[in-house]
């Protein structure tokens, strides 16, 4: 059975563009490999993404239970980074001027999927059945090759040659 879960983190004080740079690196990876990659990524967005990914994995495990779902079977299906409301701020400059700047925020949502043991066992059973069918086909092909008519034909031609030689010898003796 397919288990899917999600976790979200809202109003992160990181621009969505910077968060997407990190998120695109781990999309589609297994959760363990993605967390290892994020551990060595030198960006603050990696810390928040890893935290949310761990939460989504914990949600999936608590939803299904660890008897049927293993953490190594989980895969990061999708990561969505949306823009949150932008705060407008001002910075005072010289001669009474004011410069305006925007503090951008984002919402982060991580989707994780995994297969339970029952489905994995079913897939393994079908694979072993397919392998058994292939082995039976190979054995049948091998037995067909062993009983190939080429070897019999070769023996018959040898026998015909020896018979032809014998008849030729007998005709030579009769002539002389």
Q: Which residues contact 115 (CB under 8 A, 6 or more apart)?
A: 1, 2, 3, 69, 73
77 domain residue, yes or no: yes
Residue 37 shares a structural domain with residue 124: no
Query: Residues 22, 45: contact at Cβ < 8 Å?
Result: yes
Residue 167 lies in a domain: no
Residue 164 lies in a domain: no
- Is 146's pLDDT higher than 70? no
* Helix or strand holding residue 30 (H, E): none
End-to-end CA distance of the chain, in Å? 92
Enclosing domain of residue 133 = 117-147
Q: 0.75 exceeded by the pTM?
A: no
Give residue-wise pLDDT tens across range 156-169: 555 555 556 666 66
Is position 158 within any domain? no
**11 lies in the same domain as 69:** yes
pLDDT at 74 over 70: yes
In a domain, 163, yes or no: no
pLDDT of 104-131, one tens digit each?
999 999 999 988 776 556 666 677 777 6
CATH code where residue 23 lies: 3.90.470.10
24-28, 102-106, 126-130, 142-146 — which is least confidently predicted? 142-146
Are residues 33 and 78 located together in one domain of the fold?
Answer: yes
Together in a domain, 73 and 106: yes
Is 132 inside a domain boundary?
yes
Residue 33 shares a structural domain with residue 101: yes
Residue 45: is it exposed, middle or buried by C-beta count within 10 angstroms (0-12/13-18/19+)? buried
């Amino acid at each position: 059975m397919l288990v899917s879960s999600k976790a979200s983190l809202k109003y992160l004080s990181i621009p969505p563009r910077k968060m997407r740079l990190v998120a695109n690196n781990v999309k589609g990876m297994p959760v363990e490999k993605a967390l290892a990659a994020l551990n060595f990524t030198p960006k603050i967005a990696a810390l928040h993404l890893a935290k949310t990914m761990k939460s989504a994995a914990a949600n999936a495990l608590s939803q299904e239970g660890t008897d049927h779902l293993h953490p190594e079977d989980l895969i990061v299906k999708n990561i969505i980074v949306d823009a949150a409301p932008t705060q407008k701020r001002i910075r005072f400059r010289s001669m009474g001027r004011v410069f305006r700047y925007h503090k951008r925020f984002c919402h982060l949502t991580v989707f994780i999927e995994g297969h339970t043991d029952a489905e994995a066992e079913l897939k393994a059973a079908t694979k072993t059945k397919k392998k058994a069918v292939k082995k039976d086909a190979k054995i049948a092909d091998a037995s067909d090759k062993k009983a190939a008519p080429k070897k019999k034909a070769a023996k018959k031609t040898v026998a015909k040659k020896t018979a032809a030689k014998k008849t030729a010898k007998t005709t030579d003796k009769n002539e002389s």
